[in-house]
A and B are shown apart, each in its own frame.
Chain A
Amino acid sequence: MRSRTYQNSYAGLVALSSQPTVWVWAAIGILALAMMPALFGSFGLNMLTAIFVASIGVLGLNLLSGVAGQISLGHAGFLLIGAYAQAILTTDYKVPTLIAIFLSGLVAAIASLVVGIPSLRLKGLYLAITTLAFTFIVRHVVLYADSITRGSAGMPVDALSVFGFSLKGDVRFYYAALVMLLLFVLITLNLMRSRMGRAWLALRDHDIAARAMGIDLMRYKLLAFMVSAFYTGVAGAMMALQTRFINVDTFSILISIEALAMIIVGGMGRIHGAILGAALIIILPELLSLGFTAAGDRFKTLMADRIYEVKGMMYGIVILLFLRLEPEGLAGIWRKLKRFWVQWPLSK
């Protein structure tokens, strides 16, 4: 039975994982996820894929808001930039789809400097409002630059293919999304144990103290914005590849709120929290629609007519409930459960 972690060297503290058993469990988890296509039909697989893609973006938002402490209400903007970059690069410039994914992330990262640079002087709420303004501006630019973006008509997106091997179809794209998510989880874990991750934590907890300890605030704030936008841009590109068609209307302010709901539900600043939060927020509307269908025809039509409002209300209620009852989110519940289990019967 695993109990406490005792470390007697610095290398042990910053190791990717302190326990060999974690690797075993991770391998079992990945294997289970790889078996999923055998269990689920295309509906379930698509939902899992959507969860993986959203998790990539939420990991990015989590790095910025949860780890570096900079509130952003503008991630819908980065997602939009990523999705459009993917569509434009592959159809107009014939860039290979796999390379385009990372280029889209890069484009979003460069765009993030537009909000990153004001963030050097702004704090807290002023910054939140600036990022909100950013989403507005991006949406309008995309709508009015219709010679590049096709305006309000939207754009079709080429399917993903890797070295000539097409990853079209639910099962193949599921594996692509899974690999992508694993890649980004690994990147995040490594970022968190490097100087950069620790600098971000210091920045969040007390920026003046961090500065006094030799952390270049300007550099790390901009880096936080760029890395976070990169993740979100990649998520946007993956989203475009999944839906195969993009339109500005998909990327409303509600997406930014959805993303914030995901990190709050999951637990701020936690990697597994981001994934759990994304999963819960994506599965909830489906559960709700099942419940409404069971409740009778009247509710079923309500769900069909007002899906946007019902979803919005649900996000709002979930945010309010978690903030009031479990501020640590699902990651906190998980931690408490684990402690209960490990320390039983002495746990309280």
Chain B
Amino acid sequence: MNYFMNLVMSGLVIGSLYGMVAMGFAIIYRATGMVNFAQGEVMMLIAYMSYTFATIPGMTFVPLMVCVLTASIALGLLIEWAFIRPMLGEPMFSRVMVTIGLAVVIRSVVILIWGVEPTAFPRPFGNEVIRFGEMALYPGQIFALVSLAVLSLAMWLFFRRSRVGIAMRATSNNETTALLMGINVKRISAIAWALSAVFAAFSGLAFCLMFSLEPEISQMGLRGFPATILGGLDSVVGGALGGLVIGVVENLAGGYLGRGLKEIAGFVLIIIVLMVKPYGLFGQREIERV
């Protein structure tokens, strides 16, 4: 039982990382109808940038977060302005390929600048295990779980209550009508990219606090796809939930069925899920009109 609980717990922790990545995918899909294949690479770039910030002498956690979030919002806006906006109106294939091209470029630039060696990331919360009864968690793991909880609550409120969130839902529903209703569609897309960069910042930081700063961070983008698909590409909060499910399933498969299965359990799961529910668990069915 203890073994089982431990697997579930570490599954939830890694799942919260997947969840944050999935939210990053989903918000862009929601606002612009495309998948950002560069999400993992954006996460990697922000993580390396935050390493540079964190090694400034005298940097504590709160100023670090402020710096990282500002930088990530700027990065999201920059990418949207320079690469995504000019492609508006092009076929979907080209638009998605732009993000794939961007992904390989960012990855290569980061490695060329910072190198491939894993580096220990500064631990602002120390490295002591914190105990909750049976459970023992590292501060980095708690950071990941708390961030996911806060972000998904914030997103839920954002889409329900805030003006921009409702405008974003309207845009994803029907872009032309939203435009006619006076919504600034271009700004919505810029906001979505900035928000997705914020998710990337949180997930990147959580990764660094749990493991270390290494190029494998960008792999998290690919590993987060099953979570995104499971939750439904267009459901932000569903993505968070999908991440937790995938994390637990992967860990259980790895723990009970064998090491090799851990990495592919998520992908096998989504291929099965997609055969049954082609739009994921919480995704909206696309209605086609002829």
Please report A residues at the B interface, Cβ cutoff 8 Å: 65, 71, 114, 117-118, 121-126, 128-130, 132-134, 136-137, 140-141, 143-144, 208-209, 212, 253-254, 257, 260-261, 264, 268, 302, 306, 309-310, 312-313, 315-320, 323-324, 327
Contact = CB atoms under 8 A, between A and B. Distances in A.
Given A132-B225, A136-B263, A260 B100 contact: yes
Interface residues of B, number: 44
B101 A323 contact: yes
Contacts of B279: 126
Given A128-B96, A137-B267, A327-B94, A309 B108 contact: yes
Interface of A is mostly: helix
A122 B278 contact: yes
Interface stretch (B64-72, B83-91, B152-160): B83-91
A118 B274 contact: yes
Contact of A313 (B86, B94, B104, B264): B104
A316 B101 contact: yes
Nearest to B33: A125
| Interchain residue pairs A-B with the least CB separation, the first 4 | A316-B105, A319-B101, A313-B108, A133-B267
Contact of B270 (A117, A130, A260, A261): A130
Contacts of A136: 222, 263-264, 267
A142 to B, nearest CB: 11
Interface of B is mostly: helix
A329 to B, nearest CB: 11
B20 to A, nearest CB: 18
B58 interface: no
Contact of B104 (A129, A208, A257): A257
Contacts of A144: 260
Interface of B: 29, 34-35, 83, 86-87, 90, 92-94, 96-98, 100-105, 107-109, 111-112, 222, 225-226, 228-229, 233, 260, 263-264, 267-268, 270-271, 274-275, 278-279, 286, 288, 290
Contacts of A317: 101, 105
A253 B222 contact: yes
B100 A257 contact: yes
11 contacts: A71-B96, A118-B275, A126-B278, A129-B228, A133-B226, A310-B108, A313-B105, A317-B105, A319-B100, A320-B98, A320-B101
Contacts of A260: 97, 100
Nearest to A144: B260
A261 B228 CA distance: 25
B260 A140 contact: yes
B290 A209 contact: yes
A124 B268 contact: no
Nearest to A315: B104
Contacts of B270: 129-130, 133
A126 B98 contact: no
A172 to B, nearest CB: 36
Contacts of B97: 260, 264, 319, 323
B35 A128 contact: yes
B92 to A, nearest CB: 6
B107 A117 contact: no
B108 A312 contact: yes
A309 B107 contact: yes
Nearest to B223: A136
Contacts of A121: 274-275, 278
A340 B86 CA distance: 28
Contacts of B107: 309, 312
